[in-house]
Structure formats: structure tokens, C-alpha cells
Amino acid sequence: MNVKPFRDDNAVKIAAFVFAFTDKIGHEALMLLRSAHEAGKLSRFTKVQVASAVTVKVGPGAPSSFEEDDLAGVSFEGYQDDGQLALVLQVRDNLMYVQIVNYSSWDEDFNLLQEIFDECFSIVGALPNLQSISIEYLDEFDVIDPSKDWVGELFSKSSPLTPDFIFETNGFWHSHNGFIRDGVLTKLNLEHVTGEDGTHKALLLNQVRLMDASDFSLNDDKASCYAEFDALHGLHIECVKSILTDKMCEIVGLI
């Protein structure tokens, strides 16, 4: 074939799992996370980055005022033995998410993200109500010879999610579409781009979001929230299987 997953039989480059809340996560929770890491918890993460923010207030007939927050968010990063980024835990504004860069498989990494979130929740205590739950996957494929017909080897022409024009051009392109079904928003981006090394890449970015998660509570029933990640992952797989050719689905282990 003239196109292949960027890493043997695994095309997943980054996977992210996101809880969005109805209110901002408080300053005290951010302080607790930072202090807990300094005390040896969240030990998977060796680097911490603190985000600051400046708020400008403008009112009629009054001079502008500025409020500076030196702890608006916190990001924890974990690295592989070779120095490559492997994990990110970020808490900022109304978001808390885990990003897995060195993704292996759903069964293995689903357990990993639960362990990370569990430890985080045990540190911060009570959290605001949930607004949404989402997952996001970035798949990357290496195009061996862009002058040959690689698009038809990767993407199914019969899928309603693959536009006709991507099969009719030899140049670079971008496609964006999406749909809502049973309260779940799926947003799909397909791209033909060049990487930093000048090689050609095909990217598949898929975000699947439960838009109204008000029936879920991390304070009372974490298991149901994690189960929703599992359900969203199933919808993601269903979407990807409808986009890729049967041969590529076989290569990456979807069939």
C-alpha cells in the first residue's frame, strides 16, 4: 500500500479525554494539586507548568482596571525514558483533561486515564457540576508517494463522511464536517498536509462530545462518567470504521 499508519499498526498519535464543568475550577483546587505534586503525588508527571491570566475590566464612565491571577491553571507532564512527552494532565478554567501521547490500546489506556483522574479527584475534593464529556483522537498516516493514488487506499469512497473532492485532487486539502445524534456531537477533520520533515501526512481528527452531561456527577458516581468515555469511544470507532477502507481497518486492528 502507498499509505500506512505512522507507527506500525497504530495510527493514534494523541488521545484526549475531557471533563467540562458548568463553573471554573477554583483557585484552591489548583493550589491543592500543585502542593500534592510537590509532596510526591501524581508521580507519573515529572514537570509542572503554571498558567497565569490577566483580566481587564471596562465600565462606562470608569477607568479600566486589571486583575492578575498568577495561578489560573496548572499542567502536569509525564515523559518516556527517551525524553518524549507521554502524558498530560491539565486543569484550567472549567476544564480538566488527560492527554495520552504514547497511546497503545483502549483497554490499557482506559485504565490509565481512570487512575489519573481518580488521583486528581482525591486531591481536589468536590467539583462543580458537569457540562459535557468528550474524547478526541488524532490519527496520523504516512503517505509514501503522494503522486500515486493513496487517498483511495486510506479512505472509503462510499462513506458519507468522505467528500468527493479529496479523491479528485493531488494537492493538499482540508475537510471538516460533523453531525449530532442522540445528544452527541461528532466533529470530524480530514487533512492532507506536510510534516515538519517535509513528508506527506494524512490526518484524521475526530471529537465526540456528549453535549449535556448534567445527569452525570463526578462527586457521586465516577463510574458512570468513566462509562460514558467508553460509550463515546465506541461511537468514535464506529465513525472511523465508516471512513477508512476495509484494508486499512484491518491493518489498524478495527476488524
Cα(58)–Cα(31) distance, integer angstroms: 29
- H/E stretch holding 34 reads helix 27-38
**Higher-scoring residue by pLDDT: 24, 57:** 24
Average pLDDT over residues 33-50: 95
Cα(130)–Cα(112) distance, integer angstroms: 21
Helix axes 27-38 and 106-124, enclosed angle (nearest 10) = 110
**Residue 69: what pLDDT?**
53
Average pLDDT over residues 224-251: 97
Q: Give the number of other Cβ atoms within 10 Å of residue 138's Cβ.
A: 18
Per-chain mean pLDDT for the chain:
91
- The answer to the question of residue 75 being in a domain is no
Measured at the CA of 75, the angle between CA 73 and CA 81, to 5 degrees, comes to 170
Query: Is the predicted pLDDT of residue 57 greater than 70, yes or no?
Result: no
- The answer to the question of residue 164 being in a domain is yes
Q: How many domains does the chain have?
A: 1
- The answer to the question of residue 208 being in a domain is yes
For 203-232, the pLDDT digits (tens) are: 999 999 999 999 999 999 999 999 999 999
- The answer to the question of residue 46 being in a domain is no
Where in the sequence is the domain holding 211, given as residue range(s)?
Answer: 1-22+128-255
State what percent of residues in the chain have pLDDT above 90: 82
- The answer to the question of residue 8 being in a domain is yes
Instruction: Enter the pTM of the model.
Output: 0.90
- The answer to the question of residue 216 being in a domain is yes
- Residue 34's contacts (CB-CB under 8 Å, 6 or more residues apart) are 48, 50, 71, 74
- The answer to the question of residue 180 being in a domain is yes
**Higher-scoring residue by pLDDT: 99, 195:** 99
150: left (phi over 0), alpha (psi -120 to 50) or beta: alpha
3-class DSSP assignment, residue 171: coil
- State how far the alpha carbon of 100 is from the alpha carbons of 97, 104, 120, 209, 236, in Å: 10, 9, 16, 18, 16
For 121-155, the pLDDT digits (tens) are: 999 999 999 999 999 999 999 999 998 889 999 99
Q: Residue ranges of the alpha helices (H) in 82-221?
A: 106-124, 151-154
- The answer to the question of residue 218 being in a domain is yes
Query: Is the predicted pLDDT of residue 63 greater than 60, yes or no?
Result: no
